[in-house]
Structure formats: structure tokens, C-alpha cells
A and B are shown apart, each in its own frame.
Chain A
Amino acid sequence: MASDGVVTVYGNGAITDPKKSSYAVKVGLAQMLRGGVIMDVVNVEQAKIAEEAGATAVMALERVPADIRAQGGVARMSDPGLIKEIKRAVTIPVMAKARIGHFVEAQILEAIGIDYIDESEVLTVADDMHHINKHNFRMPFVCGCRNLGEALRRIAEGAAMIRTKGEAGTGNVIEAVRHVRSVLGDIRKLQSLDDDEVFTFAKQIAAPYELVRQTKQLGRLPVVNFAAGGVATPADAALMMQLGCDGVFVGSGVFKSGDPARRARAIVQAVTHYNDPHVLAEVSCDLGEAMVGINLNDEKVERYAERSE
């Protein structure tokens, strides 16, 4: 078993508490979030609106992705004080983002006792070669992916939950659809392969053979898989669910819209009743203005999803 609790990887000064948190417990929380919506919030008021609407968890941030896009600059882990304040205000799980490869930010987030860490490409990348070795933490991690190989590499690093990246802060669902279709399409292809062909498939997608084999056997990713990056309407959320995701992250889509409370509630209901067009029609009425959104044909728009492999 790879290194749960092994602390020598980061050299002699390792801080991480070696107490074991079994992989089942890490994946278990993600399983409890299935069929739910996780919302980005930047303060206590928004966190309460999200909780009230029925979000299964909140992602505590200083800036939502749309603002990170607009303002530019380096995006880092949020102020732990803000995260603690949000944690005190709500009863649902609280997640927070750490920069890719920045394991000290992750240690800080673990120390303040949040429920899940998102190693996120939305923040500026801290290590362009390596992700955090997530086996060293008791805290579960969620990571982004664009295709099956990327998803399985993150799981090999210890991620207990996967989200397809989409393109955060754009309000444009095209990239989210592309990534979900890519992951699930690859799994369908994998299932049609002969067992003898799986070795080469694993090599082609640059993922550990053992996880590829397990994915083939299960017919799905071995962890919970949410969609993210561009979901702005109840219909977008239901689309992600019908494509085969276990749940949805909504970032800027809720609090950059005209009536956040109402839209949040509608998206929550859309995820539960994703295959019932009558309910979807009902909840989609009179939501006020959606977030404006960005056309992704524009070459100048930075692709966050391409920041990591």
C-alpha cells in the first residue's frame, strides 16, 4: 500500500500527522456528497445562502473564478481566518483550494480542520511538474481532470474524488461537456477492449495499469466524479448529471447571477431531479439574469484547464 502515513517523502522536516485516515473514509465523504451541488462562496452570507438552498458543501474562497479572471494576478490559498469563519457559520462540509503542488498550503488547510481540499488549477500553479502527494495527508483531496489518464494519475497520487475541469469562471459549459465526454467516452472504449489490450491502453493514457484495470472492471472511475467549470443554469447542471456525473460544482454561476438564492435552489433541485424535464422546466422559471459568460472561441481567454496535466 502506497504510503498512507509515510512521512519521509518530504524530507526530514515532515510535519504531516502520520495518523492514518483510511482511503475508505476519504472516499466515503465524497460518496455522501453524491447527487449534490458544491458551491463557491466568498463570505459567511453567501455560505448561509448556499446552505439554505440545499448545497451539500461549500468551497470557501477569497475570489470566485470569474473575479480571478477579471482581476488577474496570482491567485493563492484563501486566508485561513476567512475559511474558519465560514466553517463556523455552516453545518455542511467546507472545502478550500490549495495551489497545485503547494503541499504547505495543504498542510495549513489540514491544520484548520476543513473537510476537503481542492488541489485546483483555478489558483496559480505552484509546481508545474508535480502535484501534491496526497497520500501523506489525512484530509481527502479532490482534483481536476480533462481525460481519463489525468483522472487516474490524480487517483494514484491519492485523490479521493475527481472533478472534470471545465473552464472555471466562464459560465460557458462547453469545456465541461468536452471533459466529461472525454473521461466517460474513454471508459466506454476501455470496457470494449480485450484484457490483453489494457496494458497498451494504460501506456497510451499514461496511467497506472492497476487503476486502469480496476476502472475497466467497474465500468466507472473508482472514486466519485463531479463536473465543474462553467455550470451556470439548472439545465447545465442536469446536463452534467445526464452525461453521467455524480454531482456538480458551481463556481461563479450562482453568486454572479441576478438572484443567487433562487438560482442556487433551482440548481440543487435540478441535480436531484436531473432526469425529470417537468421539474427542470418548473425550477428554471423566473430565475433572473444568469451570469454573463465568456465566449471560448476567443483565443485571448486563458485556459485554466491547460495549466496541469
Chain B
Amino acid sequence: MSVGVLALQGSFHEHLAALGKLGVKGVLVKKPEQLEGLVGLIIPGGESTTMARLAEYHNLIQALQNFYKKGKPIWGTCAGLIFLANKAIGQKSGGQELIGGLDCTVHRNFFGCQLNSFETELPIPKIAAEEGGPETFRAVFIRAPAILEAGPSVEVLAEYTLLSNESTKFCSTIENTENEGQCQTGQKVIVAVKQGNLLATAFHPELTSDTRWHSYFLKMLGENGHQSLVPVKVKQDPENSLSSSQIRDLPIFQQTEVLSFEL
């Protein structure tokens, strides 16, 4: 009984580390057969185009769709959110394969290029109510997507309020593609949702030390009638332990800047 992390590309080590902190063993998934026996799956951040290509090469798309249809919880962060959406705009020419399931329209690169990447204290009332802790979450948005439209069955967990100068900037991004004049100053965009067994965030909880989103997802595994993953201190299995493959975790950025160069 373990949680999988899709390990085609991107921040999967960071997710494993976050799960490890909660005492849960994560398993790297690169091939369809590795999905067997998992109770849930995390699709990490990364380049969604790349992940879609790699998933196609190994027939993972179909396997992931079946995984979702079996009612097993999937959580997508950033690229993972795009993967789970029914419709994504702003894709590469020719489009990309999506798993689908989430009744949303996602703009693939809503917040623009790296210059527009940012971090913010995002209000997360629902998560704070269930998991405790501060009312806000340090959310890191990296060339991030956003949800433009969400269907009635989708529960909105967090919204980001665009600053006035940002909304013009982002509007121009959107006009470049196909959705004109959708945003106004002070408009809110949806950046975290839940629908049934799907959870999706446009930002990267795996890049910060706050594990509330991970713990929220682990509770979803219980909700779905599976044996609940009670956080137990698991000894790292050498098979999946990072040290065995020489790969170690990057610093998970704390509330204060970890990397400072003062001497």
C-alpha cells in the first residue's frame, strides 16, 4: 500500500521528500505496470509537454486514465494540473495528450514566462480549516498555469487575486492565444481545485516545507474507501531510497530564505 509519484520528469524527488516527511513511502512510477497496487498517485511539476511525450512513448496515458476511472485519487501540481484537465489552451502546435477528468479549462502558461514567476502568501481557507496552521500558504508559481473555467462539480480550494498591472500583462498573454478580454483588474483566478478523487494545484507545494497539501491528499486516499494511510514512520526501502541512486534532495525552501551568502 503506497503512494506513487509519476517520475517521467520534473520535481518528483521533491514530492518523495515531502511524503517522507509525513512518514509515507512514495514509489517512483515510470511504466504502466508500476501503477499496480498503488492507492494514489501524484503527478509532479515539470514541463507538461515533455511529460505528455514521455507518457505517450510508454502507453502511460491509457493506464493513467484507467487508474483514475478506478476511483483512485490523483493529485497534479502545475504540469500535473494541466494533465488532469479536460481542456487546456496555450499548448504547443498539435496539442498534447491529456489524461482528463477534471471539468476545467486550464491555460497552460497563464502567468507567462520565468520573469513572471513569483511566490505569494496564498489564502487557503479550506486547507487551513482541515489541516490547521496559518490561513495562508507560501505558494511558488513557476511559469504556472491557471484555471479559467471550472464546472459545477468542481470545488475551488484557492484563488489568486491578480494585481492590477498583472492583469493587463496576463491579458496580453491570453490574447496571444485564443481567449480575448477575459480578465479584468483585481480579477481572481482559480489556482487549486478538488473534484471527486482529483486534486490539482497550479503552484508547487513540493518546493516548500509546508506539508499541509500533502497531508490533505493523503486523507483523500482514506476517503475513497481504501485502507487509510496512517502516517507511520517507515524505514526507507533501499529499492526506492534516494541515497542508493546517489540522488539527494535539494533544500526544501523554508519560510525564510535558506540560501544566503552571508559569511
Binding site for B on A (CB under 8 A): 1-2, 21-25, 27-29, 31-36, 48, 51-57, 87, 90-93, 110, 113-116, 138-140, 155-156, 184, 208-211, 214, 218-220, 222-224, 243-244, 246, 265, 268-269, 271-273, 275-276
A93 partner residues in chain B, CB cutoff 8 A: 47, 113-114, 143
A53 to B47, CA, bound (A): 13
B248 partner residues in chain A, CB cutoff 8 A: 218-220
Within 8 A of A (CB), among B205-263: 207, 245-251, 253, 257, 259-263
- Nearest first, the 3 A-B pairs at minimum CB distance are A54-B53, A115-B114, A244-B246
Question: Is B105 an interface residue, CB under 8 A from the partner?
Answer: no
A113 to B108, CA, bound (A): 18
Is the CB–CB distance between A29 and B114 below 8 Å?
yes
Residue among A33, A224, A272, A276 with max Cβ neighbours from chain B (10 Å) = A272
25 cross-chain CB contacts under 8 A: A2-B262, A22-B257, A24-B257, A25-B140, A27-B253, A29-B143, A31-B11, A31-B45, A32-B45, A34-B46, A51-B49, A56-B9, A91-B91, A92-B92, A93-B114, A208-B261, A218-B248, A218-B249, A218-B251, A220-B250, A222-B259, A265-B57, A268-B50, A269-B57, A272-B7
B115 partner residues in chain A, CB cutoff 8 A: 21, 110, 113, 138-139
CB distance from A250 to the nearest CB of B (A): 14
Question: Which of the residues B49, B118, B245, B263 comes within 8 Å of A91, measured between beta carbons?
Answer: B49
Is the CB–CB distance between B142 and A29 below 8 Å?
yes
Is the CB–CB distance between A272 and B30 below 8 Å?
yes
A238 to B248, CA, bound (A): 17
CB distance from B50 to the nearest CB of A (A): 5
A90 to B207, CA, bound (A): 26
Count of B residues near A, CB < 8 Å? 52
A interface footprint on B20-54 (CB within 8 Å = 1, 0 otherwise): 00000000001000000000000001110110011
Main secondary structure of the interface of B (DSSP, over half): loop
A204 to B221, CA, bound (A): 51
Is the CB–CB distance between B114 and A52 below 8 Å?
no
Is the CB–CB distance between A275 and B245 below 8 Å?
yes
Residue among A29, A31, A218 with max Cβ neighbours from chain B (10 Å) = A31
Question: Is B117 an interface residue, CB under 8 A from the partner?
Answer: yes
Is the CB–CB distance between B117 and A29 below 8 Å?
yes
* New A-B contacts (19) at CB < 8 Å, excluding given A31-B250, A32-B10, A34-B12: A1-B261, A21-B115, A23-B259, A28-B142, A33-B46, A35-B12, A36-B10, A48-B93, A52-B92, A54-B53, A54-B57, A56-B50, A110-B115, A116-B114, A214-B259, A218-B251, A224-B250, A265-B57, A269-B54
Is the CB–CB distance between A24 and B143 below 8 Å?
no
Beta-carbon nearest neighbor of B259 in chain A: A23
A48 to B53, CA, bound (A): 13
Within 8 A of A (CB), among B117-146: 117-119, 140, 142-143
A25 partner residues in chain B, CB cutoff 8 A: 117-119, 140, 142
A151 to B89, CA, bound (A): 39
A27 to B14, CA, bound (A): 13
Question: Is B72 an interface residue, CB under 8 A from the partner?
Answer: no
B94 partner residues in chain A, CB cutoff 8 A: 52
CB distance from A269 to the nearest CB of B (A): 6
A214 to B262, CA, bound (A): 12
A32 partner residues in chain B, CB cutoff 8 A: 10-11, 45-47, 78-79, 142-143, 204
Known interface pairs A28-B142, A53-B53, A156-B261. Does A33 touch B47 (Cβ–Cβ under 8 Å)?
A: yes
Beta-carbon nearest neighbor of A117 in chain B: B114
Question: Is B199 an interface residue, CB under 8 A from the partner?
Answer: no
Known interface pairs A21-B117, A29-B114. Does A36 touch B47 (Cβ–Cβ under 8 Å)?
A: yes
Beta-carbon nearest neighbor of A30 in chain B: B250
